[in-house]
Amino acid sequence: MKTELIILLLGGLVFLSHFFVDLFERTNIPDVFWLMVIGFVIGPILGIASPQDFGQVGLVLSKITLVIILFEGGLELEFNLLKKFASSAVALTILGYILSLVAIWGLLSVFTSFHGVKGLYCAAVLAGPAPSVIIPILTEGAGPAKTAAQ
């Protein structure tokens, strides 16, 4: 692929990411979901990009992206709200994790050769919530509570 086309596509992706943030504020569907869909479409479905295309740069960029997401999320969270909703958030997280674990374990058992402990281990890894999805939900969820508290 030519360098100009790559730069143009990356610019379009940055524009779309801002659009997806706006979409998240209206629909509560995390912006990361849409970026993952785009990655899935240009990767496995259309075959435009592969992990080898990114080489070592992909590893560095993914780490930098995670750091930025976590840093920005930490800036927007308020300690008082976290303390107020900590118990319900922990209960919801544990319940969500257990339900995801059971669902993934069941799907792995039915559709793959991962049965028993091997399937449970894979399900335990896959069921973990990603910070890039949880932090936007927490920050958006704190919005109405913050407004009501003021």
Q: What radius of gyration, in Å, describes the C-alpha atoms of the chain?
A: 19
Range of the domain at 131: 78-150
- Asked if the structure places residue 99 within a domain, the reply is yes
Question: What's the total number of domains in the chain?
Answer: 1
Each residue's pLDDT tens digit, 106-128:
998 998 888 889 889 888 888 88
- Asked if the structure places residue 140 within a domain, the reply is yes
- Asked if the structure places residue 124 within a domain, the reply is yes
Report residue 132 as tokens: 């890039």
Each residue's pLDDT tens digit, 71-105:
877 777 777 877 887 788 788 888 888 998 999 89
User: 54, 16, 30, 22: which is closest to 133 by C-alpha?
Assistant: 30
pTM over 0.85: no
Backbone angles phi, psi at 43, to 5 degrees: -95, -95
Tally of helices (H runs) and strands (E runs) in the chain: 6, 0
- Asked if the structure places residue 102 within a domain, the reply is yes
- Asked if the structure places residue 94 within a domain, the reply is yes
- Asked if the structure places residue 50 within a domain, the reply is no
- Asked if the structure places residue 60 within a domain, the reply is no
